[in-house]
Structure 1
């Protein structure tokens, strides 16, 4: 498309001010073109059209992704059967004995007991020392890495602070002596909390005792990312109680289900599997309980006073009616009747 200049008549650039003077307004960069004679044409202003700006395609920004660092994920660690390590250690011991017999260092009684021929000692030499060192290293590595794996426990292996895997094997197991082992209890556990702060739907302060059923599911995360499992669970339960309003004890099951979902979702990132979070006791906070106790006592006192006053009024009314019916007091005017009722009321209340 051809970029032709835009032609604006000059008379459109003039406007009448309040004082009656015309002030020209010429755009910046415009060119005034004079009129052609004999045509009656007005002067015009040529405004060049701005060149189109080449727009680079917008690069799509990567979507922000929020992720929580969850630490290493459990994976099988290097291990071997214990019987193979025992066999290798015994073979290394037998090899050391063979080398010592070959160089002539086996005592005579032991050589006779084993039925070995006699050999003259001529020195060990470099080859003998090398063989003894290699066989001793094999024996130490074989016997030094023996350990016992038990049901309900796992070993987390690290080397110079780096995670190398976890071992859940049971029985006689061989692990490298160079690896640092941390034994983790993966059995099912129960944790009963102390009274934790909470609120009900009306904002009244409560104290809730919960029972949490949990276990370590990912030994790597639970060991390397959390220092205190009980303290971590306590914090998650408190965070859940801040979000879930606690109703009356009759609704404890619904509150427990909501707490279980929240605590389980948050604890999974730390390698802890939560099966149940159930409130076992729901009490009002001490200050709220004291205020409610005073209010209940006041209500009972008011109820007793109303009952006592009603009984006194009934007794006075019955007495006045019976005295009047039997003619014991005769006809009473208003003043005398009020005086009699007052005296009877005081007598009955004083007697009570």
Structure 2
């Protein structure tokens, strides 16, 4: 693999001054009919001028001469480098790649839609130019491949109370793994991944309604379980307190009946309708 190195260069303003002197020498030579001197000065002026390069902030210029990599210029401003060379500008700025919505199957085989944003920058211009073909397109393809790879390793969500990573419930862990996966894939292109985060995550339309019903059922079951556990504790406390204070003296049958009545009145969705016992006709 090609490693980035510094290209030969000189101060651009000094180069412009040299060009001006050479052009003056060429004019003087032609005026004084010293055509050889004038021709040499003109050729040298054109040669130096062909190496003038303007480098903007947060950009680098890859210098190629006769098919050979000569180095990279990172110094901003105007410089003079290898004459008659090919110079390719590479942006070193931080950039975003927004993936399209990808349809994949999670680890349980459920079809989901997923998308992510990848924040990256080029740190090695030589690798970006020579080690991959069209590095921006390479980044896009590898990013979507990494997103698919991570999405297929985890479930969208878990409906059991178990400790496992899920795409919906562990966004930070998934983002960290996606970042590491992308960095491993894109280091060949001289790219550093700054951050990768999911921007869209949902069940596919064909199963979205069924999964919504399943989530609602799980929520209802969890709520009912909590209500029942609370009601049992309330009934136990109420009967124990009444017996302790001597308000009632219950045998097992009556205790069971009172427990049943209290649980029904607490757990029931609708309000309980009390029945007042006023005694028997035969008392």
Which runs of structure 2 are paired with 1:1-40 in the superposition (5 Å)?
none
Cα displacement string for residues 57-92 of structure 1 (whole angstroms, at most 9, x for unaligned residues):
xxxxxxxxxxxxxx3111111222101211211111
- Cα deviations across residues 21-66 of structure 1 (Å, max 9, x unaligned)? xxxxxxxxxxxxxxxxxxxxxxxxxxxxxxxxxxxxxxxxxxxxxx
Cα pair distance change 1:237/1:131, threshold 3 Å: same
Question: Which residue in 2 is equivalent to 1:197?
Answer: 103
> Which of the pair has more CA radius of gyration?
1
**CA–CA distance in 2 between the matches of 1:254 and 1:298?**
27
Matches within 5 A, 1:295-306: none
Q: Distance in 1 between matches of 2:215 and 2:45?
A: 80
Which runs of no fewer than 5 residues in structure 2 stay unpaired? 156-165, 219-267, 276-283
Residue number among 226, 243, 266 corresponding to 2:133 in the alignment? 226
| Matched-pair contact (CA < 8 Å) for 1:226–1:232 | no
Deviation at 1:253, TM superposition (A): 0.7
User: 1:282 and 1:208 mapped to 2: Cα distance?
Assistant: 5
* Alignment match, 1:73: 3
User: In the alignment, is the contact (CA less than 8 A) between 1:197 and 1:238 conserved in 2?
Assistant: no
TM-score (norm 2): 0.66
The 3 A distance-change label for structure 1 pair 271 and 147 is same
Distance in 2 (alpha carbons) for counterparts of 1:243 and 1:157: 42
Superposition pairs of residues 94-109 of structure 1, within 5 angstroms:
94-103=24-33
Structure 1 residues 1-352: aligned runs within 5 Å: 71-103=1-33, 128-224=34-130, 225-229=132-136, 230-238=139-147, 240-241=149-150, 244-245=153-154, 247-292=166-211
Aligned in 2, Cα 1:274/1:298: closer, same or farther, shift over 3 Å? closer
Q: State the number of aligned residues.
A: 217
Distance in structure 2 (CA, Å) of the matches to 1:160 and 1:197 = 46
Deviations 1:262-295 (A, max 9, x none): 2112211221111111112211122221443577
Higher relative contact order (CA 8 A, sep 6+): 2
Q: Secondary structure at the match of 1:95?
A: helix
Cα deviation, residue 207, structure 1: 1.5
Which string of whole-angstrom CA distances, capped at 9 and with x for unpartnered residues, describes residues 316-350 of structure 1?
xx9xxxxxxxxxxxxxxxxxxxxxxxxxxxxxxxx
- Which SS does the other structure have where 1:158 is aligned? strand
Runs of 4+ aligned structure 1 residues displaced above 6 Å come to: 294-299
Gaps of 5+ in 1: 1-70, 104-127, 300-309, 319-352
